[in-house]
Structure 1
Amino acid sequence: MNNDAEDPVLLRTTGRAARIILNRPRALNALTHEMVTRVDAALTGWEHDPAVQTVVISGAGERGLCAGGDIRAIHDDARDGDGTASAAFWRDEYHLNARTARYPKPYVALMDGIVMGGGVGLSAHGGVRVVTERSRIAMPETGIGFIPDVGGTYLLSRAPGELGTHLALTGAQIGAADALSCGLADHYVPSAALDALLDDLATLPVPEALARHEQQAPQGVLTEQRSWIDACCSADSVEEIVERLCAHGGTEAKETAETLLAKSPTALKVTLAALRRARRLGSLEEVLDQEYRVSCAGLKSPDLVEGVRAQIIDKDRNPRWSPATLAEVTDADVEHFFAPLGDRELGLAGPGGAPEAAR
């Protein structure tokens, strides 16, 4: 049996609380398929265990909860494989995302440090989401030629105004206060108090434990910028968003335009379409079904392999996107990402769009 240093997921039960600790600190606790299945199995075991009143998820090490999925494995599958390994990983991961949202016991996510991509999926759908002064939360997929997934388009499409559009397109990192204002978190607890919070969760109901340690979050920045973000990001196309940003005249707006023009044009256009469609879908499960189609299509896009190469493998930060400009990405190119997958559909929403869990 693996010792703790080798085990990618540590499971503990102390008093009334069961703990999930993602344990790949050198990889910023990046998720593998094995880790997803281990977490899901733990939730299955604890769901009907009367001794477990609360589930807590956190990350090992000092750097963060989880930096996302194992993008190198997905890159290799996209470049050299047939895509089945990534599709299987996403299938199980998205089912887990939906499960955390519907979990019948308090699911407490300690979103300390870096929480990105798949880390958002494991935490921000939970019922009790705790951020600290060290929290850095983002959905950075457009920078690697991919599209926000793990229910990220559901969460961001429901953020106030166009803040979610801004975050999805730019991949910008936000801190605790902005996560709270965008609906990605619920409570602020200083990182120095997390150990004491964990001790209290082992003996107290969640509201009582939180009341001992929760504080007012420091000031965020997005609220102050919301007027220009809403005005620019409410446009119907990425081209028009960029035009509005350039015409605005403000430094932040100009820098945002420059940021967008460095991202994958295809990923930007598909992301905007996914967000707009997610607003019209009624449930997280329906959005996850959509994201599964988009992710499977994205695996075949040259931009994913190129983006990961440029940002993570070679680190030259000079991706060669194909197509290279927004104007070259057609409506048909975008629509291709949303095409039904036939018998390979995720099927989380069930017949008629209702969540499976509700049937």
Structure 2
Amino acid sequence: MRGYDQADITAAVEKHWGAISAGQAEDKLKEIRRLEKALNPKVLAKADLRNGRKIYQSTCFACHQLFGEGMKLGPDLTGSNRADTKYLLENIIDPGSLVGLDYQLHTIVKNDGQVVAGLLKEKTADALGIAVIGGGQVTVPVSGIRDHKVSTTSMMPEGLIANLTADETRDLIGYLQSPRQVPLPVVGEIQVGDDQLKVAEVNRGTVQKQNMEGFKADSWSGNSHLWWTQGQTGDRIVIQFESAEEGPHAVSAVFTKAHDYGIFRVKLNGATVVENIDLYHKGSVITTGDVSLGSHPLKKGLNQLVVELLGANPAATPGKMFAIDHLLLVPE
């Protein structure tokens, strides 16, 4: 809009939408382009979403909500266009390029000299309600205001990700793009991805790695899972994975659910850890999220997961398929 270079158009836009900057500085544009290229789908597929949530809590939590977590000072990110990497980078690196009316900084000096700075949330003839960083709201009587200024500068500081490593930036952006909430990381946890799960036995059907980039309703670590197809009731697959140390571990797994998936029993090193799990899901292909397999002694080196096909949900499409995204091991 500013490109029209007409004062009346600019004034109308800023009246209804907020202040528009004269344009992004070249250094910011270069940084956005650099990171957009660096954070390509293959890189983001390796993002540690749990670590990304941890970084979110230290960089974004104080002002923004995502999946119901965080403060309501800034825009709620849950419904934003966060799947678009460029959109995220533009808003993080150059937050002042477009500042909506609801997010302009109000600085009030009270008659007693106290300064209140934040966003205008309520306005009556007698008082202003100012939301401040940390989630609180301060009511300031109009009669007690000595000075009131509105800034077109964003309250969101620049340089939020400047001190993050490349991996941390990847993890944060990956988490911001996640379609679902993920648990926070646990100290010492080890993720065993589908590329580290080795098929030792399959008595029927085919087991292969399936690319999941085209399934947008959820996310898979590495954008893939280990996929078993063409199995029949009574069949099984044996999956081996390595543990770096011997001893008790809390073990969990993330499986895939879809309309043509089956019902399975899961055993770990000979012990039944899930009597039956129904992986049928009507509609979109999604993950189960973390499914606890309990606490179990693991051997140093190879351990064994056995998946037995029990049947299918009556509502399922024929297929009885199975897939696992990853295991999570936490030494106890």
Normalized against structure 1, the TM-score is what?
0.21
User: Which structure shows the higher strand fraction?
Assistant: 2
TM-score by length of 2: 0.22
Identify, as 1 or 2, the structure richer in helix: 1
